Amino acid sequence: MTAYLALLLTLFWEFLKIGVFAVGGGMAALPFLYDLGDKTGWYTSAQVLDMLAVSESTPGPIGINMATYVGYTVGGIPGAALATLGTILPGIILVLLLAKFLQRFRDNRYVNAAFYGLRPASTALIAAAGVSVLGESLFNVSLWRETGVFADLFAVGPIVLAAVLAVLTNVKPTKKLHPVLYIAASAVVGIVFKLGGA
Amino acid sequence: MREYLKLFWAFVKVGGLTFGGGYAMLPILQRDIVEHYGWATDEEVMDYYAMAQCLPGIIMVNTSTFIGRHRKGTLGGLVAGFASALPSLVIITVIAAFLTRFAEYPVVQNAFAGIRACVVVLIANAIIKLWKSAMVDWMCLVIIFLPVFALSAFTGVSPILLVVAAALAGIAVAAVSGRKGGGEA
């Protein structure tokens, strides 16, 4: 029981930190979640991807959806509530404290300068997380290490699917479609072609 | 009390009807908060949205807190902020409980293998979009993007440390060059 309470407290604290430092909306929490999973062993990086897919396919901001999902995975329903609370609390408190001064804050030269540094940093962090994502979804690094056969490194089915999607999400008529549609279609392709090998 | 309940319900709808947060929330705010309830003007909503991005946290929750505070003070801000996060909390908890139970099924495993390939593409597209708005000049790339990327991809440095260092570097660049910083925040 005390171990569970300690777990919930740690969870809340970790998400409070994400709520303060993950700047840039949406995917900004992704590198932090990778780091947290690595550090604590609470979940694997493949699980992060599944959570991201669910978070993109359901209503609500991705940042909150991811926090709720991780919180539930780690600590059940109380975990889901605490992780979500931790993520949104710093923003809510700051809005209430700073609302009066914010117009001045927004035009402040140093705030603008900080964002000049923060935006590329946020992009770089997500890109680095994106690279590890590749290893989880398009390549079988562990299978390759086991068998030593170079061809085993490539997950051919998912690579073909990703290539098709990369084109469809960037050319004119299909570009505007909602991500949910692509995720749903990918699930169907995964089932029909048994992409998980199961 | 009635006013707080109205506020609560209005922002539960904002949270429950917005896919993906951010920009996606604006049409709903315009229809409900501006036109239906008349709690704020279009300009106020856009100002709050712009300022919400300058603070840590979730843009949608921050914007909702601004509007709630504008309408009903601190308590109104708390009600609106929490209400906007509530639909996510409920929906994701139900889905997570369901998926955890069926995670071992072959159908679920195959579906997620397909979905992961899709998520890679969605992340890549998000990075391209962010790149376009973040890279104001070559210094962003050399001083901030490349070092942060390398440290994050190849070492175990905490992202918190990298974020703080990047903000300080941005301020240092502005101080040294006397420039105004990176465009609109």
The ipTM is 0.85
Provide the residue range defining the domain that includes B38: 2-102
Q: Which residues of B touch A32 (CB under 8 A)?
A: 159-160
Question: Is residue A116 within 8 Å of B170, Cβ to Cβ?
Answer: yes
Size (chain A), residues: 198
Global pTM? 0.84
Q: Which residues of B touch A119 (CB under 8 A)?
A: 130, 133-134, 140, 182
Residues B50, B25, single domain; the answer is yes
Residue B150 within a domain: yes
Contact at CB, B85 and A84, closer than 8 angstroms: yes
B interface test, pick of A40, A62, A64, A109 with most B CB neighbours within 10 Å: A64
Residues B27, B98, single domain; the answer is yes
Q: What is the pLDDT of residue B15?
A: 92
Residues B82, B168, single domain; the answer is no
Q: What is the pLDDT of residue B67?
A: 95
Residues B9, B76, single domain; the answer is yes
Residues B156, B90, single domain; the answer is no
Residues B167, B154, single domain; the answer is yes
Residue B185 within a domain: no
Residues B53, B126, single domain; the answer is no
Residue-level pLDDT, tens digit, chain B, 185 residues: 899 999 999 999 999 888 766 667 888 888 889 999 999 998 888 888 888 887 888 999 999 999 999 999 999 999 999 999 999 999 999 999 998 888 788 998 899 889 889 988 988 888 888 888 788 888 889 999 999 999 998 888 888 899 999 999 999 988 888 654 444 43
CA distance A24 to chain B (A): 7
Residue ranges for chain A with pLDDT beneath 70: 25, 103
Q: Which residue bears the tokens 């195959």?
A: B110
Q: What is the pLDDT of residue A69?
A: 96
- For chains A and B, count residue pairs whose Cβ atoms are closer than 8 Å: 392
Determine the Cα–Cα distance for residues A19 and A194; give it in Å rounded to an integer. Answer: 38
Residues B165, B142, single domain; the answer is yes
Residue B29 within a domain: yes
Question: Is residue B61 within 8 Å of A88, Cβ to Cβ?
Answer: yes
Residues B72, B98, single domain; the answer is yes
Residues B18, B70, single domain; the answer is yes
> How many domains does the structure of chain B reveal?
3
Tokens of B105: 């099924």
